[in-house]
Amino acid sequence: MKLINKIFFLVGASLMFAACTKKFEELNTDPNGASAANYPPVYNLTKSQLEYTGNSDFSYEVWRVNIIYCGMFTQHLANASWYAGDKYMQNDAWANAYFDVAYKDQVKYVVDLLALTKDKPNYKNLYQIARIMKVMIFHRITDLYGEIPYTEAGLGFYGRIFTPKYDKQQSIYLDMLKELDEAGTALDVSADKPGTGDLIYGATAAPAAQWKKLANSLMIRLGMRLTKVDPAAAKTWVEKGYAKGPMTSNADNALVKHDATGGRQTVNRNSNILGDDGEWKACKNGEVYLSRTFVNYLKTNNDPRLQYLSRVRSSGSTVPALQIGLPNGYDQNGGATDVSTAPGFPGNISNYSTIRSDIFLTNAGPTVLATYGQQELLLAEAAKRGWSVGAGAATHYNNGVTAAMEQFVQYNASAAIAGVDITAYLTAHPYADSYDQINSQYWLASFLDWYETWSNWRRSGYPALTPVNYVGNATGGQIPRRMLYPSSEASANGTNYDAAISSQGTNTFMTRVWWDKP
């Protein structure tokens, strides 16, 4: 077995042992206790990280939320069959999938890890890493849903809290920023190393230093989320994140490398759904195509990434000039919205372009969580706003575009974009002092992480996407602004659920989260 599979096996074995015991005193002891030699606390980190990438015991949230909804909303992807997000159709079970899965798995493990390592000198760094990992987990949940259980979440065992309150998103964001600041500062390069149980930086020579950079980079990302709702706080936190030392190259990118041999629980989950060698083969089978919006943007700008991102489904051709994106909002039902009526229809739906599986959708490929390229593009926007982030906007912009292109080799070594091609692209498309330009590049740089693509699009409004208005859609022809709480929350946690609805607004696609202001 490979490392990630061995770790998963050990976690499963230890949990099975704990579950099968019949001794009363053991049933009344935390089965994940740090004193249990067979279950070191770092395995909780492994589980939370692996499941954050979508490899949970349930493992449907990536398909339903990342791909079907966020990937289609942001017009990276398109579909002419049953993927509801392409046409803003409401499926409650799909829209609540991330909330449903994340609390059962990700939150549970990271909250337990914090309890197991707090105030234990031998786990000094592991505790701080857990704080940062907790921010990553809740950052995504709150961006998708808005007000969520936060301060009381995951405390069923340690706090006997089974109906956690929903915290306001503003307070969640301020606490997450505080946590990043404190945890990053407290990391000690001379203290404990989590080892390879840390799937993100455990294999590096100095994991504490890497986690410090990630904390500061995330501080920049979270700070930028506040640009519309609290510009002063946004400026403070972005400048602090920059001053403390964020990522400096693609070597700092936060990613999890997967194991192709372990099935759904260890493979790259995007690839498991979309890839030719995956479980569902959604690109190969014609369920998922690249959107015309996405392909045309790359073609129009002669972007060197297109040949690595796209292939014609029928022929397999990767020649940029032959790529045709599927327009969003069409079906195959034979009526007025049948794909055959779309402008420029290439004769058969299989002649549209889909994702190159050999580059981006291999089962052992990485799940990329945060990158230097994304960070530099956010800093470009910060510099444009006049904030103190070192270099000017043009330098950060050039760094961001360059890093986003060079990053392709982290998916596959064959996807190396030549430096001369990157230089030619930047020469043809120099920084033009434009929020649209910066955030359109962020849109490109966040491919596959459609949770983040959708969030930054909602914050910035760029690129200016043209929505579809398919018959029977749930939003009046507008791109949705949030996901939906599970209906089970209304019955199992009704008082707190009702308070969140009263505070935030109705549980619909068009109720905006706190930082998403018009």
Query: What's the whole-number average pLDDT of the chain?
Result: 92
Q: In terms of Cα–Cα distance, which of 326, 303, 140 is closest to 221?
A: 140
Q: Cα separation of 21 and 19, whole Å? A: 6
Q: Which two tokens stand for residue 327?
A: 């327009």
Instruction: State residue 161 phi and psi, 5-degree precision.
Output: -105, 110
pLDDT digits (tens, 9 = 90+) for 87-106: 999 999 999 999 999 999 89
pLDDT digits (tens, 9 = 90+) for 131-152: 999 999 999 999 999 999 999 9
Judged by average pLDDT, the poorest of 9-18, 103-112, 331-340 is: 9-18
129, 199 in Cβ contact below 8 A?
no
In a 3-state reduction of DSSP, which class is residue 135?
A: helix
Higher pLDDT, 16 or 248: 248
Among residues of the chain, what percentage have pLDDT more than 90? 90
pLDDT digits (tens, 9 = 90+) for 193-249: 999 999 999 999 999 999 999 999 999 999 999 999 999 999 999 999 999 999 999
Helix or strand holding residue 368 (H, E): strand 366-370
Which string of DSSP letters, residue by residue, matches 298-310?
HHHTT-TTHHHHE
pLDDT at 4: 55
Hey, how many other C-beta atoms are within 10 angstroms of the C-beta on 265? 19
The label of the residue with tokens 């020579």 reads: 205
First to last CA, the chain: 50
Q: Cα separation of 369 and 211, whole Å? A: 13
Ordered domains of the chain (ranges, CATH): 3-262+364-504 (1.25.40.390)
pLDDT at 262: 86
pLDDT digits (tens, 9 = 90+) for 282-319: 999 999 999 999 999 999 999 999 999 999 999 999 99
Q: Cα separation of 112 and 476, whole Å? A: 43
pLDDT at 270: 96
pLDDT digits (tens, 9 = 90+) for 473-508: 999 999 999 999 999 999 999 999 999 999 999 999
In a 3-state reduction of DSSP, which class is residue 460?
A: helix
DSSP-derived secondary structure letter, 353: E
Determine the longest span between alpha carbons in the chain, in angstroms: 71
